[in-house]
Amino acid sequence: MIHFIMKIAINARFLSAAKLEGLGRFAYETSKWIVENHPEHEYLFIFDRAYDPNLIFSERIQPIIVAPQARHPFRIGDVIIYADYNMASDTIFSKDDAKFYDSFYVVDPYNKFNPRMFKRNIRFHPGDLYNRNDHNLTLSRLVNLGVYKFVKARFEEVDTVPDRRLNAYYYLSPNNRYSAKAQISALTKSNNSTGTDLTLSIKNRNAFRSAEQLTLSGFIGLETQIAGQQNVG
């Protein structure tokens, strides 16, 4: 019987000891099973960056590092917030049109919003590493403020700096600031009284320019008693 010794190349770019989950965990367990059950072959683990020596769990494995890296970490550059965005408007950004607060550029020509609210709710700041969790958390917080009906984020690679950076753009379209509601109900009681009431409420979704919800309600009612039928003896 003739036995062949093969050299098997395995894409190991998902193998990261610091974050061995998802695809990384699957790739690790699959590769380990193959190597341990077929020790007669040689294996090339191809990495795209420096690797953890603990991932080389067999003498039959030869690690190789190739370039360029398949996964490039990006840092956040400028953070630009269109606080009063109109989908029909021109969104060409100019720093001359924005106010700089803390680490954000806020475009809010009518000063509808206090920029402090963005510091509390936007997770990205210049220099931070981009990650999907902070991206999703920021969108969730902005939506849950209740003051915006449309929230969109866009990231654009900056090609004028030596390191890899993304400018973050947030487009926020406000809801109507005020809403009103009226409710009418009728009632009947056991003492033969009947009536109706009217409840009016007005909500301000941005009472103090930081997405505070303020609701004012008023109530008016009318009740009258109807004489019951008398028994004649």
Q: What is the CATH number of the domain that holds 109?
A: 3.10.20.310
Looking at the structure, do residues 79 and 142 belong to the same domain, yes or no? yes
Residue after which a domain boundary falls, among 65, 84, 103 = 65
Give domain status of residue 230, yes or no. no
User: In this structure, are 142 and 162 located in the same domain?
Assistant: yes
Find the domain containing 202 and state its range.
178-225
CA 15 to chain centre: 27
pLDDT recorded at residue 78: 95
Within-domain flag for 90:
yes
CA distance 121 to 140: 9
**Do 185 and 196 meet the contact criterion of CB atoms below 8 Å apart?**
yes
Residue 134 lies in a domain: yes
pTM, two decimals, is: 0.65
Question: What b/e sequence results for 69-90 when a residue is b if at least 16 CB atoms lie within 10 Å of its CB, and e otherwise?
Answer: eeeeebbbbbbbbbbbbeeeee
| Total residues found in the chain within this entry | 233
Residue 113 lies in a domain: yes
Overall domain count for the chain? 3
Four-residue CA torsion sign, 64, 66, 69, 71: negative
- Strands 7-11 and 148-158, bridge-based pairing: unpaired
- Residue 233 is predicted with a pLDDT of 46
pLDDT at 116: 94
Answer yes or no: is 232 within a domain.
no
H helix intervals, 48-151: 116-121, 132-144
Parallel, antiparallel or unpaired: strands 178-188 and 193-204: antiparallel
Low-confidence ranges of the chain (pLDDT < 70): 1-2, 18-19, 68, 70-71, 90-93, 227-233
Whether 1 is in a domain gets the answer no
What are the DSSP E strand ranges found in the chain? 7-11, 42-47, 61-65, 75-82, 99-101, 104-107, 148-158, 165-174, 178-188, 193-204, 214-225
Q: How far apart are CA 197 and CA 224, in angstroms?
A: 12
* Residue showing tokens 């009681």: 189
* Shared domain check, 162 and 81: yes
Residues 132 and 168 in one domain: yes
**Are 101 and 162 found together in one domain?**
yes
Q: Which two tokens stand for residue 111?
A: 């000063």
Q: Give the residue ranges of DSSP H helices in the chain.
A: 23-37, 116-121, 132-144
Q: Reduce the DSSP state of residue 143 to 3 states and report it.
A: helix
State residue 201's pLDDT score: 94
Q: Is residue 31 part of a domain?
A: yes
Q: What is the pLDDT of residues 4-58, one digit of tens each?
A: 889 999 998 888 776 677 788 888 999 999 999 999 999 999 998 888 999 999 9
In terms of domains, do 79 and 170 share one?
yes
Burial call 43-59: b when 16+ CB within 10 Å, e when fewer: bebebbeebeeebbeee
Residues 6 or more apart whose CB falls under 8 angstroms from that of 77 comprise 126, 158, 161, 165, 166, 167, 168
Q: What residues form DSSP beta bridges with 75?
A: 129, 165
